[in-house]
């Protein structure tokens, strides 16, 4: 993949540091709404980006890939870098040379369409929309330190949104995704989930009851995965802590001096791990050529590690922990991969049997969090009332609004069932939507205000 061009770019850069990324992405998409195909598309992207450090940092992207354009790109990036005066640098890292490829193919359009058409037909009595996407991304990364990484990865993704109306209107959406090929379609069991969601929304309209105003709450993996990502992963990103994202994604309640502090109850451990095969946020080397490794963010309630790329690691005088990721045509910034709660010992039944009054929240639609990652809200869609240790009916949109500190201190039981969900994490400007997965377990919180 144009290795000569990449080498040429680095040779002519004559700067303290330079890197080049040449990328090719082939993707296919289908949109179906209420029985009608709305869009069937295929796309091909092919471009290069260079980033240099010389005085400051300069970045240039072009989707014209040839020697002349690469010369122009280097010249412009260097010129932009030299307009600045900063202490920016890259941490010292092991030089890596590697090629890796995740196997996975996609069938012809008929089979993909049949998959979506069958789901559409299956849910034909309600309002529904479906989105399918697959892509194969090839990337060559090289830097002036000597690292050279080639990767080829397929991604597959499906989404649905359904609306059930019966006096009231209720909606539910779900995502499915993996790093890999078509074989995952069968593992997702979309039809089963779709049937479950349709049935539940009908029941919710017919039988949903108001939740108690206060009680114990069990949050299911679908929600706790998101919580791990939003209230631990994001605030532990070093670029946020250093203020680099202040105008966009915000800062963080976390500070570097909190390292080693007890932050959560002892039963809480949270990990971000890129190297989980076939998870949506998988990678073997990050976008600065650093070998991917597991990051223990919170270990038994104690703050253990923050997420760094080479730029933030340099500023802190440490090594990167392989958190640099870039989407096509963008600069690498600190990102999560697959972020999850470490499983505990409890089954769902064991967590429930100890609750006198409360709710079990299985899925959500609405959620948000402030830009310091301290004030969070989740509104349940699929949720159940708990009374005297048993599920007793459906809860109508129970909502919890809780501070991050309170959340991590109220958990007293951690489930043993770890489940991963795909998500597209947004950060950076221009926005970089990147594949991640959120991993959750059942968490029991005591004495929570329920709205």
Partner 1 sequence: MIDLLKNFDKFVVIERETKTKQLRFYNSKIGIIKEWKNKKMELFLYKKGKLISFSVENPDRNKVKKGIERAEKIMGHIPPMSFELGERRKYINNKYFDKNILNDESLLKEAEKAIEKSLEYGEESAGVLYSTKENLKIENSNGVCCEDMNSMAYLSIRTLFKNQSFHSVNCSRRLDNIGKKIFFDEFLKTPEKKKFIKEGRYDVLFTPMAFANLISYFANFSSAFAVDSGYSFLENKIGTKVASECMTIYDSGIEKDGIFSRKFDDEGISTQKTTIVENGELKTYLHNSTTALKHDCETTGNAGIISPVPWNTVVDGGDYKINEMIEDLSNALLITNVWYTRFHNYRTGDFSTVARDIAFHIKNGEISEIVKGIRISDNMERILKNVTFLSKEKRQIYWWEVENPVFAPYAVVRNVSITTTNR
Residue-wise DSSP of 10-59: HHHH-SSEEEEEEEEEEEEEEEEETTEEEEEEEEEEEEEEEEEEESEEEE
Q: Which of 89, 212, 329, 389: binder of partner 1 (CB under 8 A)?
A: 329
Q: Interaction with partner 1 in 293-322: which residues (CB under 8 A)? A: none
Strand 357-361, strand 214-219: pairing: parallel
Distance between CA atoms of residues 213 and 358, nearest Å: 9
Which residue in 391, 387, 443, 396 sits closest to 416, CA to CA?
A: 443
Q: Considering beta carbons, is residue 99 or 214 the nearer one to partner 1?
A: 214
The stretch among 165-173, 187-195, 296-304, 385-393 that binds partner 1 (CB under 8 A) is 165-173
CB of 369 to partner 1, least distance (A): 6
Report the half-sphere exposure of 18 (CA within 13 A, side-chain side): 23
Distance between CA atoms of residues 354 and 390, nearest Å: 9
354 binds partner 1 (CB under 8 A): no
Q: Considering beta carbons, is residue 76 or 196 the nearer one to partner 1?
A: 76
The stretch among 92-100, 291-299, 318-326, 394-402 that binds partner 1 (CB under 8 A) is 394-402
366 binds partner 1 (CB under 8 A): yes
213 binds partner 1 (CB under 8 A): no
The stretch among 127-135, 176-184, 256-264, 436-444 that binds partner 1 (CB under 8 A) is 127-135
Alpha-helix runs per DSSP H in 251-359: 310-316, 348-353
Which residue in 1, 99, 106, 105 sits closest to 46, CA to CA?
A: 1
Find the helix or strand (DSSP H, E) in which 99 lies. Answer: strand 97-101
Q: Considering beta carbons, is residue 7 or 429 the nearer one to partner 1?
A: 429
Distance between CA atoms of residues 449 and 399, nearest Å: 9
Q: In angstroms, how far apart are the furthest CA atoms of the chain?
A: 73
Q: Which of 8, 16, 98, 113: binder of partner 1 (CB under 8 A)?
A: 113
- Is the torsion defined by CA of 307, 310, 313, 318 positive or negative? positive
Which residues are 334's β-sheet partners? 324
CB of 30 to partner 1, least distance (A): 9
118 binds partner 1 (CB under 8 A): no
Determine the 3-state secondary structure of 98 from DSSP: strand
CB of 67 to partner 1, least distance (A): 14
121 binds partner 1 (CB under 8 A): no
- Is the torsion defined by CA of 77, 78, 81, 82 positive or negative? negative
CB of 116 to partner 1, least distance (A): 10
402 binds partner 1 (CB under 8 A): yes
Q: Considering beta carbons, is residue 4 or 110 the nearer one to partner 1?
A: 110
Q: Interaction with partner 1 in 10-69: which residues (CB under 8 A)? A: 31, 33-34, 36-47, 56-65, 69
429 binds partner 1 (CB under 8 A): yes
418 binds partner 1 (CB under 8 A): no
Q: Interaction with partner 1 in 66-95: which residues (CB under 8 A)? A: 69, 76-77, 79-81, 83-84, 86, 88
Q: Considering beta carbons, is residue 42 or 259 the nearer one to partner 1?
A: 42
CB of 19 to partner 1, least distance (A): 13
Q: Considering beta carbons, is residue 88 or 258 the nearer one to partner 1?
A: 88
The stretch among 168-176, 259-267, 334-342, 351-359 that binds partner 1 (CB under 8 A) is 168-176
Distance between CA atoms of residues 29 and 214, nearest Å: 45
363 binds partner 1 (CB under 8 A): no
105 binds partner 1 (CB under 8 A): no
Strand 338-341, strand 333-334: pairing: unpaired
Strand 127-143, strand 390-394: pairing: unpaired
Q: Interaction with partner 1 in 216-275: which residues (CB under 8 A)? A: 242-248, 250
Within 8 A by CB and 6+ apart from 189, the residues are none
347 binds partner 1 (CB under 8 A): no
């Amino acid at each position: 993949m144009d290795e000569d061009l990449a080498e040429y770019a680095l040779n002519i850069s004559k700067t303290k540091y330079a890197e080049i990324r040449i990328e090719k992405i082939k993707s296919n998409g289908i949109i179906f709404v209420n029985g009608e195909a709305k869009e069937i598309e295929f796309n091909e992207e092919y471009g290069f980006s260079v980033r240099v450090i010389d005085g400051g940092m300069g970045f240039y992207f072009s989707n014209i890939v040839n020697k002349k354009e690469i010369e122009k790109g280097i010249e412009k990036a260097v010129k932009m870098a030299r307009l600045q005066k900063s202490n920016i640098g890259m941490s010292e890292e092991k030089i890596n040379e590697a090629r890796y490829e995740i196997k996975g193919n996609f069938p012809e359009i008929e089979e993909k369409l049949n998959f979506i058409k069958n789901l559409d037909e299956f849910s034909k009595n309600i309002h529904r929309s479906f989105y399918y996407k697959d892509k194969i991304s090839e990337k060559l990364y090289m830097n002036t330190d000597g690292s050279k990484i080639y990767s080829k990865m397929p991604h597959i993704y499906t989404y649905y949104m359904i609306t059930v109306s019966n006096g009231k209107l209720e909606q539910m959406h779900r995502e499915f995704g993996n790093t890999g090929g078509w074989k995952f379609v069968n593992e997702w069991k979309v039809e089963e989930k779709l049937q479950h969601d349709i049935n539940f929304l009908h029941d919710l309209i017919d039988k949903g009851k108001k939740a108690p105003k206060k009680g114990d709450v069990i949050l299911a993996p679908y929600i706790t995965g998101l919580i791990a990502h939003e209230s631990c992963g994001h605030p532990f990103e070093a670029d946020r802590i250093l203020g680099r994202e202040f105008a966009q994604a915000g800062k963080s309640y976390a500070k570097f001096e909190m390292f080693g502090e007890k932050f959560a109850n002892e039963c809480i451990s949270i990990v971000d791990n890129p190297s989980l095969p076939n998870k949506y946020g998988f990678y073997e080397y990050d976008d600065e050529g650093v070998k991917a490794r597991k990051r223990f963010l919170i270990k038994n309630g104690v703050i253990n590690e923050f997420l760094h790329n080479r730029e933030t690691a340099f500023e802190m005088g440490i090594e990167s922990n392989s958190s640099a990721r870039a989407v096509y045509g963008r600069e690498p910034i600190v990102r999560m991969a697959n972020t999850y709660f470490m499983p505990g010992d409890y089954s769902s039944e064991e967590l429930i049997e100890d609750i006198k009054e409360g709710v079990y929240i299985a899925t959500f639609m609405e959620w948000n969090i402030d830009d310091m990652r301290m004030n969070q809200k989740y509104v349940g869609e699929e949720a159940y009332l708990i009374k005297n240790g048993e599920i007793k009916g459906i809860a109508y949109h129970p909502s919890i609004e809780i501070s991050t500190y309170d959340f991590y201190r109220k958990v007293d039981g951690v489930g043993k069932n770890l489940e991963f969900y795909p998500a597209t994490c947004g950060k950076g400007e221009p926005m970089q939507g990147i594949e991640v997965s959120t991993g959750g377990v059942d968490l029991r919180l005591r004495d929570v205000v329920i709205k």
